[in-house]
Amino acid sequence: MASTTSSIPLGELSEEHELLRQTVRKFAESEVAPRAFEIDREDEFPHDLYRRMGELGFLGLNVPEEHGGSGADELSMSITLEELARVSGTVANACLLAKLQSELIAKRGTPEQIRTYVPRIAAGELICLIAVTEPGAGSDVASVKTSAKRTGSGWKLNGTKAFMTAGAVGELAVVLARTDPAAGGRGLTTFLVPKSPDGDPAKGFLADHKEQLMGMRGLATAGITLQDTLVSDEHVLGEPGRGLGNALGSFNNGRIVIASLALGLAAGAHDACLEYARDREAFSQRIGDFQAVQFMLADACVEIDAARLLVRRAAQLKDAGAPFALQASQAKLFASDVAVRVATNAVQIHGGYGYTKDAVVERIYRDAKLTQIYEGTNQIQRVIIARHLLPKAGGK
């Protein structure tokens, strides 16, 4: 699927993109929405929906056709994630995980690594996670402590990673580890590390306990442990010493998709509010006739549209091969803040019912908060944006 965005004005969709949006929405409403409450309540990774997205081609949208994907553009994935997140942030998150890891391996991997892993990720047959965050290193990626030391047969890895999406169910991890302690950020390397098949830490990573999260439940978030884990040179992803660039590049890509997910959460909350405002009555009239409610709905409408424009601009810049890091940070910052504001007002509009587990806006309220934290906190996004504005002290 070739990019069709170059001649389409920002904010408008081509026929191809509109058809994709309708296709994803149909799947989301018919197959994901009926499961959304269950996924959140049971906190179990939706393996069947993950594989189903692989069958439908959603997981491999951006994967080149020769590697089992559709070769679609970034805007296509953004549209897909928005539609999925309207009904389930968790399912959208599972989809973007596959997108980011398949893209990273396809970009940095050897031909053999690409053949081995990318088609399986795109098909939903393999869950791959990125292992960067540590108990003492979150946004400060360059300070990771996990080590990788040369051995006669390859590398020996030791360290602990925290808050890995799909860490409890993943079968392959892209691990960022320090290979040169004296080289700072230039001494980091990425490795493709399988999960230990039998609990022997020498054969792969071990999953720690699953985290009990406030929102985005069902993602099987967990830490992983590397304890004298042995990998060969064939498991090095990209050039040794270039791992920080690999991780940061993945984060730039991730900010577009996290922004798309946040946008979908905001849109889902707004949809629920519009329905509730039309049906719920108080003081002998529907609550949507009260100006206080109308203003919240109007503000949400404007902010969601503004967020969508920022997200699509970042996606189209990436598709055009232009620099997009600044625009990705802007989109992630604004869309995630919008998601939290819209979800907060959505609970308020729903009143006491909105504070119950039966209300979809209660789940969105909890899910939305995470979008301000991961893939670089919103405070970090402001730092990134400021650095683009002021590249050096006294710069213009």
- Rounded to whole angstroms, the Cα distance separating 356 from 158 reads 44
Estimate the crossing angle of helix 74-85 against helix 243-279, to 10 degrees.
40
Task: Give strand ranges (E) for 232-353.
Answer: 236-237, 281-282, 285-286
| Domains of the chain with bracketed CATH | 15-126 (1.10.540.10), 130-240 (2.40.110.10), 244-389 (1.20.140.10)
Q: Which amino acid is at 5?
A: T
Q: Are 59 and 122 within 8 A, CB to CB? A: yes
Q: CA-CA distances (angstroms) from residue 69 to 55, 62, 122?
A: 11, 7, 6
pLDDT along the chain (396 residues), means of 10: 49 90 98 98 97 97 93 96 98 96 94 97 96 81 88 93 95 95 85 97 95 96 96 95 86 92 98 96 92 97 97 96 96 98 98 96 98 93 95 62
Q: What is the DSSP letter of 30?
A: I
Catalytic residues: 375
- Rounded to whole angstroms, the Cα distance separating 396 from 390 reads 6
Residues 6+ apart with CB under 8 A from 101: 121, 128, 129, 130, 172, 174
- Rounded to whole angstroms, the Cα distance separating 277 from 296 reads 11
Helix (H, G, I), strand (E, B) or coil at 371: coil
* pLDDT score for 10: 64
Q: CA-CA distances (angstroms) from residue 81 to 298, 319, 391, 396?
A: 24, 17, 32, 37
Q: Are 3 and 73 within 8 A, CB to CB? A: yes
Assessment of whether the complete model's pTM goes beyond 0.85 = yes
Task: Give strand ranges (E) for 40-134.
Answer: 128-131
